[in-house]
Amino acid sequence: MHEITLDTYRRETRTELESPAIQAALDACAANGGGRVTLLAGTYRCGTLFMRDGVTLHLRRGAAIVGSSCLADYPLPETPFVDAVGHIRGRALIVAENVHRFAITGEGVVDGVGSAFVIGAPGHTQRPFLLRLANSTGFELSGLTLRNAAAWTVHLLNCEDALIERLAIDSRVNENNDGIDIDSSRRVTVRHCEIFTDDDAICLKATRANPCEDIEVHDCVLGTECGALKLGTESHGDIRRVRIHDCRVVYAATGAIKLLTSDGGVFEDVQIRNIVIERGTGPIFLRLGSRGRTYAPGDAAKGPGAIRKIVFAGIRAKVFTPPREIAIPFNQVKMPAAAFSGILFTGIPGHPIEDVTLEDCEFEFVGGFDGDPKTLCPPEQPEMYPEHFYFGALPGAACFIRHARNVTLRRVALNLRTPDTRPILATEDVENLVND
């Protein structure tokens, strides 16, 4: 195996950026049939680094790759895309496109200096990700500390056979700072990670026609200003055979668990088990909508997709609500604090959510609504970006189910901390509800 070790203080060739020397080492290892590039302790200021087949990039303890603050140092790759907020995405500090059998490992740090690309700054609509892995297979990310991404932290697009483990992610210096995004990818495992983010912590997407499938997430600790465990909203393709279990959500400001198909994708065979939500709003949100957005050239818009064969088991959640009204980010309309509570399942007329089971779960809600429940009528809004709180205060103090078929609640405790004028559970257009 070809092996190259780099040191910021003893390297023969020095430039303003360290990335040319690191890139040369990665290329040399690949040319020799694969190998390992090791960074010793020190700070390596870099533009984009491109991974190569059969090469491991290893950061020793004390080694830090720190991103450039200049957008020009992050070239736009072959597979750019437009995200859900209309920004061009694809630039990244570390990129693997069409790369196979590689790894990024160690006890070092990768820092994206996200504060250099804050909203409103030049180039903020093309802010670089920290790690972007596209059309790649057979890789491992392990042991690293990833922090201060300018946009998403780790993005997998159309990848296969990936292991992500023991990452410490802290990305709260900018907006839209997702932790790990698994997009139209297959056979991916995420385990033993600690993730603290401004945006969604772990998010499965399908921006391509290829499905996102055979995904396992377990033994992770999550804290976020948005959603902790999220499927969607980007959902042009299907998401299926997902297993999420044994995770702890210490904080989730806009929902702990979300399944949101808005662009025609079918979500099915999803099991989420043994999740402790220590402090979160709306603990479970299922939304089948009809936005019909596309993300790749040549793709045609789809009609409504489906949500079916979903199991939640062993969920323990303590729900909080904000102390005051909150303004919606997209239009600044203020929503009441009560809009951030409750379990919500909602399809659209003619397109029900199907075959959903909650079993052996316990939820504690704030309660405290003292108005007339008959005045509460959540809007349909099938084309709107799906967020739990956009539906306002729910007709049920703990749970509202609408446009659904074959829903089972088995040994589910729905508790309130303060009295509430609403029924615990409210339904509308629900066929075959079992509550025992």
Is pLDDT above 80 for 168? Answer: yes
Pair of tokens at residue 414: 């729905």
Domain ranges in the chain? 2-435
Predicted local distance difference test score (pLDDT) of residue 327: 67
Cβ contact 420:367 at 8 Å: yes
Predicted local distance difference test score (pLDDT) of residue 328: 64
Within its chain, how far is the Cα of 383 from the centroid? Answer: 21
Answer whether the bond into residue 427 is a cis peptide, omega within 30°: no
Predicted local distance difference test score (pLDDT) of residue 260: 98
Model pTM score: 0.95
pLDDT single digits (tens) 19-59: 999 999 999 999 999 999 999 999 999 999 999 999 999 99
Band of residue 330 on the pLDDT scale cut at 50, 70, 90? low
Smallest CA-to-CA distance from 141 within 78, 211, 210, 51 is with 51
* Percent of the chain whose predicted confidence (pLDDT) is above 70: 95
Which amino acid is it at 287? R
Collapse the DSSP code of 391 into the 3-class scheme (helix H, G, I; strand E, B; otherwise coil) and give the result: helix
pLDDT single digits (tens) 261-284: 999 999 999 999 999 999 999 999
Any idea of the CA torsion for 387, 390, 396, 397, to the nearest 10 degrees? 80
Predicted local distance difference test score (pLDDT) of residue 83: 72
Predicted local distance difference test score (pLDDT) of residue 257: 98
Pair of tokens at residue 369: 């609504």
pLDDT single digits (tens) 182-206: 999 999 999 999 999 999 999 999 9
Smallest CA-to-CA distance from 93 within 137, 58, 51 is with 51
User: What mean pLDDT do residues 331-346 have?
Assistant: 84
Most distant CA atoms of the chain, gap in Å:
75
pLDDT single digits (tens) 115-126: 998 877 777 788
Cβ contact 419:369 at 8 Å: no
The average confidence (pLDDT) of the chain is 93
Predicted local distance difference test score (pLDDT) of residue 145: 98
Question: What is the DSSP code (8-state) at residue 127?
Answer: P
Please give the Cα distance from 249 to 274 (Å, whole number).
11
Cβ contact 194:221 at 8 Å: yes
Burial (0-12, 13-18, 19+ Cβ within 10 Å), 413 = exposed
Secondary structure of 256-305 in the HEC alphabet?
A: CEEEEECCCCEEEEEEEEEEEEEEECCCEEEEECCCCCCCCCCCCCCCCC
Superfamily for the 2-435 domain? Single-stranded right-handed beta-helix, Pectin lyase-like (2.160.20.10)
Beta-bridged to residue 230, according to DSSP, are 203, 258
User: What mean pLDDT do residues 345-354 have?
Assistant: 98
Question: What is the DSSP code (8-state) at residue 26?
Answer: H
Predicted local distance difference test score (pLDDT) of residue 332: 66
